[in-house]
C-alpha cells in the first residue's frame, strides 16, 4: 500500500483526522484539490467540545493564540445599524471570563475548555502546519481526487496531480472529507436526504481595520461578535478573529450590492475593502450512509447544517476523532470488526441530532425576523410598537442560535455495538447540559486537584477509572482488556467530588473519553465486556 489511510479534503475535518491518525503512528496521505489554504470566510468558532478535543491533541494553546483575543466579549446584538442603540443585547462571556467561571465550577456542568472564536482561514493553516510536522502524515495540495475502486484488502484512488498527470494511490482505507459536494460520496452512490436550498444568501468578506475600534459610534451598541440587522434582507454582520475582518450575510439581488449592504449595516462611513463575495444555500441534509466498505465519509460530506448554532465544522471534528481511533485500532490489529461498523451507528445519529438543533435555531431566528415591518425606523407609535414586538420575540428566539451547550456536550451514543447498553437514558437536550455517566456519554469535566482536570490524567487508550474508596477487585477486567491487546490503563482517583458526581465506583472510558461501561463491581463475564468494547 502507498499509505494506510488516504484522506480526501484538507479542510479542518480532514486536517484534524490526519493529525489524530498521525499522532497514533498511522501512515496517512491527505490530498487537497486547492493549491493552498484559501482566505475565505467559512466557520468562525470552535465550540467547547472541539476545544476539549484539541486540548487532548495538544493543540488548544495554539488555537487560542491564533484566535480572537481572550478578553473580547462574545456579545450578540440585534440593531437597526451598528451606530444606533441596540434593540437587544445578549451578553456572552469572553474566553477569559469563561475560563475563570470553569475554574470555579465543581459540579461537572461546564466544559473543561470554553469556546474559541477563530476563522477557518486562520485555523486551516495552523492545522496544516501541525499535520506537516508529523512524520507519518503526508500532505499534498494541488492533488485532485477523480475516482476510487475497492477490493477486499484495500481501496485505490485515481488522482490528478499538479500539471495534469494522473496516478493511483493505494490505501487500506479512504475517508472523504471533501465537503457538501463530496466527490467521494458521489462515487459511492450515497445520496443526501432532508431539506435542501431553504434559502439563498450572499456572503462577503470585508477588510475594515477601523470598524472595531469605532464601535460604538455615538451611543452605539458596544463591542460584540454578531450584529443582526433588523431588516427584510436577513442582514447579519460577523466579527472575524482579527477584529479587522468582517463577514456579511444578506439576501440581495446581485453580488455587487453587498458593499452597499455593508454600509447600511455599519451606519456610518468607515474605510473598507471587499475581499470576497459569493452565494451560498441553506441546507439541512444527512447522508443516507456514512460509508461503504473501506471508504468512509466525515464532516460536510456526511451532513450539511445551517450555521445557526455553530454545529457544522464542530460536528465534523467529532467525526474525525471518532473515526481516527477506530481506524488506528483496526489497522494495529486489536480492534474487532464491529469497531468500524460503530462509526456510522454513533456519528450518523449525532449528525441527525445536530441537523435538528440547527433547524431549531434557524426557525427561531426566522421567527423574530418575520416581525419586521417597514415602519420599524419611524419615530411614530407604530414604529415603536414594531420595535418593541420584534425585540420581545427576538429575546426568546435568538438565544436558540447562540446557546447550544447541550448539543455540544450532551450527545450520547445510543444503540452502539461497542457500548455496554443500559435501558433508558437521559433526554437529549439542545440548550441545556446535564452531566451524566450514562454509557455512551462524554465523561463530565471535574477537577481532581486544583488546576488538574480528570481529562488530563486519562491516557490515549481505554482507561478504567477506579474510585479510591472502592474495594472492587479490577484485576480480572484489567487482564481481559490486556488480553485483547488494546491499550489500557487503570486510573485510581482519591476524589470524593468525582465519585459523588459520577455516581459509580468503576467507569470504563474509550480513547475518545466516552463511557463504554460503568458499575460498582466488574461484571461476571469480564471477557465479554472486553470483547464488546473493542469491537469483537
Each residue's pLDDT tens digit, 324-362: 999 999 999 999 999 999 999 999 999 999 999 999 999
Find the mean pLDDT for residues 469-476: 88
The answer as to CATH 3.10.20.740 being correct for domain 414-533 is no
Say which residue the cell 455516581 belongs to. Answer: 503
Environment class of 34 (CB within 10 Å of its CB; exposed 0-12, middle 13-18, buried 19+): middle
Cα separation, 241 vs 66, in Å, equals: 8
Say which residue the cell 466544559 belongs to. Answer: 111
**Cα angle 419-425-429, degrees, rounded to a multiple of 5:** 110
Find the mean pLDDT for residues 56-79: 96
Contact 58, 24 (CB under 8 A): no
SS3 assignment for 332-359: CCCCCHHHHHHHHHHHHHHHHHHHHHHH
Q: For 301, which DSSP code?
A: G
* pLDDT tens per residue, range 305-334: 999 989 999 999 999 999 999 999 999 999
Cα separation, 494 vs 252, in Å, equals: 61
Q: Which three cell numbers stand for residue 126?
A: 495552523
pLDDT of residue 376: 97
Paired sense of beta strands 303-304 and 284-287, if any: antiparallel
Helix axes 312-331, 12-23, angle to 10 degrees: 30
- pLDDT greater at residue 7 or residue 309: 7
Cα separation, 113 vs 375, in Å, equals: 44
For the cut 90, the answer to whether the pLDDT of residue 217 exceeds it is no
The DSSP bridge partners found for residue 117 are 45
Q: For 268, which DSSP code?
A: S
Contact 10, 34 (CB under 8 A): yes
Q: Could you tell me how many residues make up the chain? A: 536
pLDDT of residue 362: 97
pLDDT of residue 222: 63
* CA distances (Å), origin 120, targets 354, 382, 468: 20, 43, 43
Domain limits of the chain? 1-67+118-193+286-389+401-409, 70-117+199-281, 414-533
* pLDDT tens per residue, range 152-189: 999 999 999 988 999 999 999 999 999 999 999 999 99
Sign of CA dihedral 275, 280, 285, 288: negative
User: DSSP letters along 441-466, please?
Assistant: BBPPP-EEETTEEGGGGS-SSEEEEE
461: pLDDT confidence band, cut at 50, 70 and 90? Answer: very high
Cα separation, 287 vs 299, in Å, equals: 11
Sign of CA dihedral 513, 516, 521, 522: negative
Contact 350, 298 (CB under 8 A): no
Determine phi and psi for 238, rounding to 5 degrees: -120, 125
- pLDDT greater at residue 497 or residue 349: 349
pLDDT of residue 469: 77
Closest CA relative to residue 90, chosen from 368, 402, 310:
402
pLDDT of residue 343: 98
Element (H, E) at 167: strand 166-176
Closest CA relative to residue 89, chosen from 388, 401, 404, 398:
398
pTM of the predicted model as reported, rounded to 2 decimal places: 0.97
Determine phi and psi for 263, rounding to 5 degrees: -65, -40
Question: Cis before residue 377, ω within 30 degrees of 0?
Answer: no
Determine phi and psi for 141, rounding to 5 degrees: -85, 160
Say which residue the cell 486489536 belongs to. Answer: 334
Contact 480, 527 (CB under 8 A): yes
pLDDT of residue 393: 98
Class of domain 1-67+118-193+286-389+401-409: alpha beta
Assess whether the region 1-67+118-193+286-389+401-409 and the region 70-117+199-281 belong to the same CATH fold: no
Closest CA relative to residue 114, chosen from 145, 156, 68, 164:
68
pLDDT of residue 507: 97
Contact 173, 155 (CB under 8 A): yes
For the cut 60, the answer to whether the pLDDT of residue 219 exceeds it is no
Percent above pLDDT 90 for the chain: 93
* pLDDT tens per residue, range 516-534: 999 999 999 999 999 999 9
Find the mean pLDDT for residues 257-263: 98
Sign of CA dihedral 358, 360, 361, 366: positive
Contact 20, 324 (CB under 8 A): yes
User: DSSP letters along 58-71, please?
Assistant: T-HHHHHHHSS-TT
The DSSP bridge partners found for residue 286 are 193, 303
Find the mean pLDDT for residues 239-259: 97
Paired sense of beta strands 291-292 and 295-297, if any: antiparallel
pLDDT of residue 43: 85
Find the mean pLDDT for residues 261-288: 96
* pLDDT tens per residue, range 389-446: 999 999 999 999 999 999 999 999 999 999 999 999 999 999 999 999 999 999 999 9
Contact 100, 37 (CB under 8 A): no
Q: In terms of CATH architecture, what is 70-117+199-281?
A: 2-Layer Sandwich (3.30)
* pLDDT tens per residue, range 187-206: 999 999 999 999 999 999 99
Amino acid at each position: 500500500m502507498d499509505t494506510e489511510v488516504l484522506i480526501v479534503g484538507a479542510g479542518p475535518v480532514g486536517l484534524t483526522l490526519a493529525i489524530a491518525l498521525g499522532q497514533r503512528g498511522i501512515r496517512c496521505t491527505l490530498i487537497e484539490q486547492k493549491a493552498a489554504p484559501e482566505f475565505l470566510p467559512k466557520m468562525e468558532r470552535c465550540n467547547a467540545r472541539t476545544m476539549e478535543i484539541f486540548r487532548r491533541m495538544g493543540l488548544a494553546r495554539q488555537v487560542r493564540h491564533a484566535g480572537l483575543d481572550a478578553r473580547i466579549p462574545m456579545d450578540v446584538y440585534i440593531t437597526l445599524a451598528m451606530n444606533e442603540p441596540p434593540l437587544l443585547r445578549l451578553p456572552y462571556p469572553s474566553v477569559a471570563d469563561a475560563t475563570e467561571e470553569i475554574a470555579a465550577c465543581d459540579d461537572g456542568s461546564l466544559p473543561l475548555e470554553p469556546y474559541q472564536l477563530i476563522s477557518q482561514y486562520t485555523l486551516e493553516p495552523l492545522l496544516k502546519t501541525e499535520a506537516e510536522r508529523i512524520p507519518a502524515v503526508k500532505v499534498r495540495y494541488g492533488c485532485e481526487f477523480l475516482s476510487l475502486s475497492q477490493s477486499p484488502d484495500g481501496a485505490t484512488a485515481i488522482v490528478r496531480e499538479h500539471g495534469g498527470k494522473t496516478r493511483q494511490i493505494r490505501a487500506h482505507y479512504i475517508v472523504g472529507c471533501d465537503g457538501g459536494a463530496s466527490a467521494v460520496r458521489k462515487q459511492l452512490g450515497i445520496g443526501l436526504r432532508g431539506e435542501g436550498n431553504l434559502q439563498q444568501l450572499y456572503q462577503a468578506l470585508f477588510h475594515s481595520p477601523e470598524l472595531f475600534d469605532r464601535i460604538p459610534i455615538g451611543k452605539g451598541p458596544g463591542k460584540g461578535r454578531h450584529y443582526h440587522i433588523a431588516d427584510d434582507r436577513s442582514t447579519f454582520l460577523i466579527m472575524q478573529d482579527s477584529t479587522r475582518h468582517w463577514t456579511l450575510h444578506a439576501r440581495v439581488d446581485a453580488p455587487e450590492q453587498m458593499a452597499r449592504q455593508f454600509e447600511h449595516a455599519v451606519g456610518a462611513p468607515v474605510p473598507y475593502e471587499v475581499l470576497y463575495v459569493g452565494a451560498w444555500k441553506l441546507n439541512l441534509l444527512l447522508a443516507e450512509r456514512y460509508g461503504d466498505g473501506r471508504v468512509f465519509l466525515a464532516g460536510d460530506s456526511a451532513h450539511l447544517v445551517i450555521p445557526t448554532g455553530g454545529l457544522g465544522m464542530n460536528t465534523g471534528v467529532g467525526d474525525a476523532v471518532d473515526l481516527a481511533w477506530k481506524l488506528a485500532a483496526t489497522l494495529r490489529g486489536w480492534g474487532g470488526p464491529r469497531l468500524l461498523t460503530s462509526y456510522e451507528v454513533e456519528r450518523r445519529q449525532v449528525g441527525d441530532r445536530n441537523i435538528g438543533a440547527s433547524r431549531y435555531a434557524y426557525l427561531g431566528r426566522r421567527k423574530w425576523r418575520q416581525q419586521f415591518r417597514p415602519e420599524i425606523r419611524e419615530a411614530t407609535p407604530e414604529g415603536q410598537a414594531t420595535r418593541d414586538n420584534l425585540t420581545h420575540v427576538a429575546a426568546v428566539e435568538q438565544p436558540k442560535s447562540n446557546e447550544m451547550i447541550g448539543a455540544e456536550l450532551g450527545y450520547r451514543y445510543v444503540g452502539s455495538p461497542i457500548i455496554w447498553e443500559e435501558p433508558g437514558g437521559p433526554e437529549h437536550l439542545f440548550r441545556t447540559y446535564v452531566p451524566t455517566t450514562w454509557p455512551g456519554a462524554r465523561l463530565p469535566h471535574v477537577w481532581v486537584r486544583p488546576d488538574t482536570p480528570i481529562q488530563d490524567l486519562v491516557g490515549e487508550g481505554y482507561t478504567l477509572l477506579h474510585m479510591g474508596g472502592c474495594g472492587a477487585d479490577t484485576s480480572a477486567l484489567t487482564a481481559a482488556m490486556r488480553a485483547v491487546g488494546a491499550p489500557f490503563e487503570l486510573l485510581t482517583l482519591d476524589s470524593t467530588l468525582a465519585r459523588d458526581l459520577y455516581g459509580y465506583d468503576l467507569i470504563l472510558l474509550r480513547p475518545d473519553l466516552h463511557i463504554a461501561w460503568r458499575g460498582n463491581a466488574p461484571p461476571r463475564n469480564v471477557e465479554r465486556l472486553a470483547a464488546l468494547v473493542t469491537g469483537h
